[in-house]
């Protein structure tokens, strides 16, 4: 038998349903991995062993009654900037050290209803600002078969790329943002990080819903099954390859592996189209301006008055300065300062307004491509040396910012390995609300590239 901590959600579901393993055994296996390895990896902010055991027990009861849902009894890790009722959700910040929310994010609420088993909270950059790929560690290390992460400028996709996983940023509005501590409101999305596109589809089915608590959410109005096109191949699908993503800004290794992947998809029956997205080079800058502006406002609520870290001082002004000084990291402070700068009266038109204009241009360019194409294939990380990145003044989300700006769904899956053995990811961006097609393409590629993930030991 394979190590079950390396199996997919789909496969674990079968094992649970066939009574090859109990929910409690599954839970124990993942907890054991978490407890053994997390301290070294600094991957988990918190391990919720007691809660996990009791959730696993109720899940097993549900399975035994024949009332199980597709995620019943399946362990999960939730990023720490997503609120979990009664469980510390500190958002990676001193400001919220020990903060226990009296409510759960709506996406978490849905997993709860499905009978999920929370193993722990994944560490995050402070309020998700750095967009680090950390939430991938928990899944690649076998702490849970999937995690819920957050993606503003590309964190979920980078997590998948760095750790050889599959991560989906859903269409903006597909998953409720209620309970996700806001970083950049017009970009933030909760999405799954798992081992396969099929697992991502299963999880999206569970967490996409219109939510009366998030006015920008539309959920799944057509009651679509996102797994419907899984394992149906890619015959006839048109995949656009924009040249701006295959220039000097991307390492040769990444370029050749992604283009190689394109050829494999072509062999599977897809049609490749060469396209151009001229605004690509400005995407990360536009994202940086708008997201920092929104962050400066979103993080202003952390003033130590009603909750969170309260500093000292003789007056309100002194106290709030001290609270925020002690509560935020220097990187977060830099972002807040930058956000305030671009929103200030004298700079608003030069930065904020221009960044918005770019956002609409990029959106229009993508819309144009989707008149003919079904998906756009790009690398996920540029993977240049630190020296090159500094010289080119590249921002880390060069490859991922465009989909964020356009609010489009984007899935990253593994398409190769570097000489040093580390994974390389590719991203497929889809039409608005068309996750099913990009998941279909990623799935088709994965079945060829990582067949072992689809073998279920009996």
Which parts of this chain interact with other proteins (CB under 8 A)?
Answer: 82-83, 89, 91, 96, 99, 101-103, 105, 177-182, 185-186, 212-216, 293-294, 296-297, 300-301, 303, 305-307, 316, 320, 340, 343-345, 348, 352
Nearer to other proteins, 316 or 417 (CB): 316
Range list of H helices, 299-434: 316-327, 330-343, 354-369, 386-392, 401-406
Q: How far apart are CA 149 and CA 183, in angstroms?
A: 13
- Closer residue to other proteins (CB): 8 or 79: 79
Q: Which is nearer to other proteins, 312 or 368 (CB)?
A: 312
157 or 177: whose CB is closer to other proteins?
Answer: 177
Minimum Å gap between C-beta 49 and other proteins is 24
Q: How far is the CB of 97 from other proteins (least distance, A)?
A: 13
Minimum distance, C-beta of residue 62 to other proteins, in the bound complex (Å): 28
- Cα(334)–Cα(348) distance, integer angstroms: 18
CB 308 within 8 A of CB 327: yes
Q: Which residue, 383, 132, 164, 165, is CA-closest to 254?
A: 383
φ, ψ dihedrals at 343, nearest 5°: -90, -10
Cα distance between residue 359 and residue 280, in whole Å: 10
Residue 169 in contact with residue 183, Cβ under 8 Å?
Answer: no
- Residue with structure tokens 């309970």? 179
The residue among 68 and 89 lying less far from other proteins, judged by its C-beta, is: 89
Element (DSSP H or E) covering residue 271: strand 271-275
Give the shortest CB-301-to-other proteins separation in angstroms: 4
Map residue 275 onto helix, strand or coil: strand
Nearer to other proteins, 68 or 124 (CB): 124
Nearer to other proteins (CB atom), residue 118 or residue 262:
118
* CB 279 to other proteins: min, Å: 21
Q: Nearest approach, Cβ of 364 to other proteins (angstroms)? A: 19
Give least dist CB 181 to other proteins, A. Answer: 4
With b for 16 or more beta-carbon neighbours within 10 A and e for fewer, the 143-179 pattern comes to bbbbbbbbbbbbbbbbbbbbbbbbbbbbbbbbbbbbb
Q: Is 191 helix (H, G, I), strand (E, B) or coil?
A: strand
Backbone dihedral angles phi then psi of residue 416, each to the nearest 5 degrees: 175, -175
Q: How large is the angle between the packed helices 49-64 and 23-41, nearest 10 degrees?
A: 160
**Considering the complex, what minimum distance in angstroms separates the CB of residue 344 from other proteins?**
5
Nearest to other proteins of 348, 449 (CB atom): 348
Q: Tell me whether residue 294 or residue 446 sits nearer to other proteins (CB atom).
A: 294
Whole-number minimum distance, CB 171 to other proteins, in Å? 15
Comparing C-alpha atoms, which of 163, 168, 141, 246 is closest to residue 443? Answer: 168
């Amino acid at each position: 038998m394979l190590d079950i901590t390396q199996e997919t959600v789909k496969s674990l579901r079968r094992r649970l349903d066939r009574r090859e393993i109990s929910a409690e055994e599954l839970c124990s296996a993942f907890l054991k991995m978490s407890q053994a390895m997390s301290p070294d990896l600094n991957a988990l902010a918190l391990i919720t062993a007691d809660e996990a055991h009791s959730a696993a027990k109720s899940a097993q009861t549900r399975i035994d009654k024949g009332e199980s849902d597709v995620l019943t009894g399946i362990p999960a890790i939730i990023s720490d900037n997503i609120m979990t009722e009664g469980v510390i959700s500190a958002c990676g910040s001193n400001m919220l050290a020990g903060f226990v929310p009296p409510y759960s994010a709506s996406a978490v609420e849905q997993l709860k209803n499905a009978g999920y088993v929370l193993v722990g909270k994944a560490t995050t950059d402070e309020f998700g600002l750095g967009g680090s790929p950390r939430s991938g560690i928990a899944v690649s290390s076998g702490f849970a078969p999937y995690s819920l992460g957050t993606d503003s400028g590309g964190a979920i996709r980078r997590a998948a790329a760095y750790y050889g996983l599959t991560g989906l940023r859903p269409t903006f509005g597909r998953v409720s943002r209620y309970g996700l501590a806001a970083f950049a409101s017009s970009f933030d999305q909760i999405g799954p990080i798992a081992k396969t596109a099929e697992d991502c589809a299963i999880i999206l089915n569970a967490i996409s819903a219109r939510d009366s608590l998030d006015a920008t959410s539309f959920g799944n109005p057509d009651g679509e099954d996102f797994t419907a096109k899984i394992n149906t191949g890619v015959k006839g699908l048109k995949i656009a390859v924009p040249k701006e993503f295959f220039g000097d800004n991307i390492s040769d290794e990444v370029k050749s592996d992604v283009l190689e992947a394109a050829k494999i998809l072509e062999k599977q029956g897809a049609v490749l189209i060469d396209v151009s997205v001229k605004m690509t080079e400005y995407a990360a800058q536009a994202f940086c301006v708008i997201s920092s502006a929104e962050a400066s406002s979103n993080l202003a609520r952390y003033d130590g008055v009603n909750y969170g870290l309260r500093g000292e001082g003789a007056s309100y002004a002194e106290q709030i300065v001290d609270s925020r000084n002690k509560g935020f990291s220097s990187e977060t402070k830099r972002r807040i300062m930058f956000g305030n700068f671009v929103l200030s009266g004298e700079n608003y038109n030069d930065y904020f307004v221009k960044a918005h204009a770019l956002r609409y241009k990029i959106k229009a360019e993508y819309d144009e491509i989707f008149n003919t194409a079904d998906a756009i294939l790009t690398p996920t990380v540029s993977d240049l040396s630190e020296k090159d990145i500094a010289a080119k003044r590249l921002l880390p989300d060069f490859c991922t910012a465009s989909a964020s700006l356009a609010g489009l769904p984007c899935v990253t899956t593994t398409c190769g390995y570097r000489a040093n053995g580390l994974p390389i990811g590719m991203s497929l961006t889809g039409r608005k609300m068309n996750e099913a097609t990009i998941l279909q393409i990623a799935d088709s590629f994965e079945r060829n590239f990582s067949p072992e993930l689809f073998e279920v030991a009996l």
